[in-house]
């Protein structure tokens, strides 16, 4: 085969261009430190690079966003729960203090002031938020657990369910000892009569609604195991009931008593014991209009309807509302704790009853003190006045004994209640701690995974600078050599031999 000069020149130009391409290739690698600059150079490296890049972006999302957000959410929850634990511990301490039988007037005043101060803070921690999202309200993270302000026109239709264990015995007190005026004493002396106010107490079973001042629904107001019970007498307040013919409620009575002002359904003993024996459930359907700042919003605790029967009616159905964060591939973590599992609606009601019991005891002691002071005054020194005042004092002291006994027994029993509330909060704290530990372990694993993927990605894409330099100078030398060779090829032709 005859090789012409043109063929030699064409081959020379091709070789020069190939060497030039190599120089450009290694020059680009020296600049970028990457093996390839486009997928067509090496499809295998390109595909692996895409896969590793996708994995790395997911890992970065977990580390920089999801895990940090989940950790912050859990930190806020943990802090709020610990604050709630401290609050409940303080209230329990007041229960222990109030259950003693050696309380002085100053002791009662101290307990009263402490409870009133603590009551304002009971559900405040339930409004804890992370980045503007409340952490105890399920999916409704833009809403608070409690009412932010008084809502006198807001109305709810509420369905509250009970188990047989919610039936508790409660002491109801009747009668009201009076402090006589000078006129009262004079009339008793003139008529030769005694002060005969009857004070005492009766014990009945009850279930307590979450809210006072409620109205029973027109239908299915009280249901036992799904069957409506209609024999209910409604009273505006406890005094109206205790002064009626229905008080005291007979053990074998068939009529239940509903007290609107306190939100209590009082159940006869025989009926209550049958419910307990058969382990029956109960449901009270009621309407509540008007809430004050700090009241729990019913939708977080009950099946209920906001503004029932109106155009803006909203129906709320109680359900589990878990907020999950994806913290690694195929791994999710539930970060939220729902209010009803921690902040019992009974806490505020218990504290209110404890405050009322202290006030009852303080009021009774004040009456005794005022009557005794009257008996020491000169204008009542005569035997007739002393006899009249002694009648008032006997009734007042009986009321005082009842009030002190109620204070001691109520506080003693509520120690157990607050132990239960503390147990729920401690359980929630433990769960949050477990989630934090799990999150920390996952974070360590994802960080290690990030390092591994980064190394694989670097091994797949990057080149060592020393290797690139060697390859570059080899290619550059080949290129310059090809140029030198090409210059020699052009000097020779057939004409020199003719």
Tens-place pLDDT, residues 346-396: 999 999 999 999 999 999 999 999 999 999 999 999 999 999 999 999 999
User: Beta 232-235 vs 256-259: how paired, if at all?
Assistant: parallel
Residues 103-151 pLDDT 10s? 888 999 999 999 999 998 899 999 999 989 999 999 999 999 999 999 9
What is the percentage of the chain residues whose pLDDT exceeds 70?
93
Q: Is the peptide bond before 248 cis (omega within 30 degrees of 0)?
A: yes
Residues 425-477 pLDDT 10s? 999 999 999 999 999 999 999 999 989 988 887 777 767 777 667 866 776 77
Q: Which residues pair with 256 in a beta bridge?
A: 232
Asked if residue 473 is part of any domain, the answer here is no
**C-alpha dist (Å) from residue 401 to 93, 174, 375, 392:** 23, 13, 20, 14
Residues 295-313 pLDDT 10s? 999 999 999 999 998 999 9
Question: DSSP string covering 243-302, please?
Answer: TSTT-SPPTT---EEEETTTTEEEE-HHHHHHHHHTT--EEEEEEEEEE-TTPBPGGGTS
Counting Cα atoms < 13 Å in the Cβ hemisphere of 130 gives: 18
- What is the C-alpha to C-alpha distance for residues 167 and 276, in angstroms, rounded to an integer? 8
Asked if residue 415 is part of any domain, the answer here is no
With CA atoms as reference, report the closest residue to 95 among 385, 409, 372, 427.
409
pTM across the whole model:
0.84
Q: List the end-to-end C-alpha distance of the chain, in Å, as a whole number.
A: 21
Asked if residue 352 is part of any domain, the answer here is no
- Over its C-alpha atoms, the chain yields an Rg (Å, rounded) of 42
Q: Which two tokens stand for residue 391?
A: 């009648």
Asked if residue 227 is part of any domain, the answer here is yes
Are 300 and 138 in contact, with CB atoms under 8 Å apart?
yes
Asked if residue 58 is part of any domain, the answer here is no
Q: Which two tokens stand for residue 103?
A: 């309380």
Residue found under tokens 């009557």: 371
Q: How many domains does the chain have?
A: 1
Residues 139-194 pLDDT 10s? 999 999 999 999 999 999 999 999 999 999 999 999 999 999 999 999 999 999 98
- What is the C-alpha to C-alpha distance for residues 11 and 486, in angstroms, rounded to an integer? 10
Asked if residue 370 is part of any domain, the answer here is no
- What is the C-alpha to C-alpha distance for residues 408 and 107, in angstroms, rounded to an integer? 13
Asked if residue 232 is part of any domain, the answer here is yes
Structural domain including 301 reads: 146-320
3-state DSSP assignment of residue 251 = coil
Asked if residue 316 is part of any domain, the answer here is yes
């Amino acid at each position: 085969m005859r090789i012409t000069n043109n063929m030699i020149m064409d081959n020379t130009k091709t070789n020069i261009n190939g060497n030039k391409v190599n120089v450009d290739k290694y020059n680009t690698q020296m600049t970028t430190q990457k093996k390839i600059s486009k997928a067509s150079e090496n499809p295998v490296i390109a595909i692996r690079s895409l896969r590793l890049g996708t994995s790395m972006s997911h890992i970065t999302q977990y580390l920089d966003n999801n895990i940090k957000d989940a950790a912050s959410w859990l930190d806020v929850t943990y802090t709020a729960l610990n604050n709630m634990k401290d609050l409940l511990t303080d209230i329990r301490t007041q229960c222990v203090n109030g259950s003693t039988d050696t309380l002085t007037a100053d002791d009662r005043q101290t307990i009263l002031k402490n409870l009133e101060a603590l009551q304002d803070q009971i559900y405040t921690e339930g409004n804890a938020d992370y980045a503007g999202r409340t952490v105890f309200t399920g999916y409704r993270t833009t809403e608070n657990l409690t009412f932010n302000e008084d809502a006198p026109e807001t109305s709810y239709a509420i369905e509250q369910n009970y188990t047989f264990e919610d039936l508790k015995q409660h002491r109801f007190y009747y009668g009201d000892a009076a402090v006589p005026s000078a006129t009262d004493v004079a009339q008793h002396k003139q008529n030769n009569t005694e002060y005969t106010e009857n004070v005492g107490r009766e014990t009945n079973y009850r279930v307590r609604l979450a809210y006072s001042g409620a109205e029973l629904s027109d239908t299915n107001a009280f249901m036992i195991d799904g069957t409506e019970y209609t024999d209910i007498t409604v009273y505006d307040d406890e005094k109206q009931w205790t002064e009626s013919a229905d008080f005291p409620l007979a053990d074998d009575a068939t009529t239940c008593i509903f007290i609107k002002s306190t939100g209590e359904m009082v159940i006869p003993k025989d009926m209550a014991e049958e419910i307990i024996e058969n382990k029956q459930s109960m449901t009270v359907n009621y309407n509540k209009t008007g809430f004050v700042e700090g009241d729990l919003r019913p939708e977080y605790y009950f099946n209920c309807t906001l503004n029932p029967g109106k155009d803006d009616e909203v129906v709320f159905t109680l359900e589990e509302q878990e907020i999950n964060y994806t913290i690694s591939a195929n791994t999710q973590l539930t970060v939220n704790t729902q209010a009803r599992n921690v902040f019992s609606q009974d806490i505020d009601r218990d504290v209110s009853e404890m405050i009322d019991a202290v006030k009852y005891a303080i009021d009774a002691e004040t009456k005794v003190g005022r009557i005794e002071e009257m008996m020491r005054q000169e204008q009542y020194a005569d035997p007739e006045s002393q006899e009249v005042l002694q009648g008032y004092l006997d009734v007042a002291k009986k009321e005082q004994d009842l009030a002190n006994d109620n204070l001691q027994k109520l506080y003693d029993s509520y120690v157990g209640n607050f132990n239960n509330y503390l147990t729920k909060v401690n359980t929630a704290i433990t769960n949050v701690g477990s989630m934090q530990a799990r999150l920390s372990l996952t974070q360590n694993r994802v960080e290690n995974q990030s390092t591994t993927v980064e190394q694989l990605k670097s091994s797949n894409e990057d080149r060592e600078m020393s290797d690139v330099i060697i390859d570059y100078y080899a290619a550059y030398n080949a290129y310059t050599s090809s140029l030198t060779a090409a210059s020699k090829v052009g000097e020779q032709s057939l004409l020199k031999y003719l």
